């Protein structure tokens, strides 16, 4: 849905949502994506962890960590995650350059994926919060209002990516 929310001053309570009927926007850029180990996905389903929330949390956390490697600003990159991408038929996390045509950030991230996964896992596991906070999995620029997010599912996904368990 494309639209906006009306929020109460001071409390930020959502008091209304207004959909907008706008034409689609095309934005061509460069992205990296990675497949998740099928065994980890099956394990998440068995333990009833939220796959969509875990993917979304991994996306946010990786976007927050990538600037440490690519020497860019968090606003220079964006992301998308989905439990079933129509083009790949798999659960995916995409991280893309927020500039038309790309400027090399996604390529740098791709070259350093194992290090990015490890640093992202560390940021999530070392954060003292219970369910996720702005220091680990929440994003100040999330178009989905930081929903769904699942910190435990993100940890499990990242452990699968780095080869733990």
Report helix, strand and coil shares of the chain as percent, to nearest 5: 40, 15, 45
Under the banding of pLDDT at 50, 70 and 90, the label for residue 24 is: confident
Which H or E element spans position 45?
helix 38-47
pLDDT at 165: 66
Q: Are residues 72 and 63 in contact, defined by beta-carbon separation less than 8 angstroms?
A: no
User: What pLDDT sits at residue 12?
Assistant: 82
Kindly report, residue by residue over 134-151, the tens digit of the pLDDT.
Answer: 999 999 999 888 999 999
Query: Residue 2: pLDDT band by 50, 70, 90 thresholds?
Result: confident
Does the structure show a pLDDT above 70 at 73?
A: yes
Average pLDDT over residues 74-96: 95
pLDDT for 44: 86
Beta strands 92-97 and 77-82 are antiparallel
Domain boundaries, the chain: 27-162
**Which residue is it, tokens 């990786």?**
62
- pLDDT tens sequence across 33-59: 998 988 999 888 888 899 999 999 999
């Amino acid at each position: 849905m494309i639209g906006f929310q009306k929020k109460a001053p001071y409390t930020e309570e959502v008091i209304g949502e207004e959909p907008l009927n706008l034409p689609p926007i095309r934005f061509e850029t460069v992205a990296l994506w990675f497949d998740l180990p099928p065994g980890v996905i099956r394990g998440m389903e068995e333990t009833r962890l939220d796959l969509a929330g875990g993917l979304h949390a991994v996306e946010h956390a990786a976007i927050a960590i990538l600037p440490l490697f690519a020497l860019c600003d968090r606003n220079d990159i964006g992301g998308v995650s989905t439990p079933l991408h129509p083009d790949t038929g798999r659960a995916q996390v995409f991280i893309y350059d927020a500039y038309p045509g790309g400027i090399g950030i996604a390529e740098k991230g791709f070259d350093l994926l194992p290090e990015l996964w490890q640093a992202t896992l560390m940021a999530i596991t070392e954060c003292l919060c219970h369910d996720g906070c702005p220091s680990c999995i929440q994003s100040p620029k999330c178009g989905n209002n930081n929903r769904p997010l699942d910190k435990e599912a993100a940890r499990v996904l990242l452990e699968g990516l780095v080869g733990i368990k």
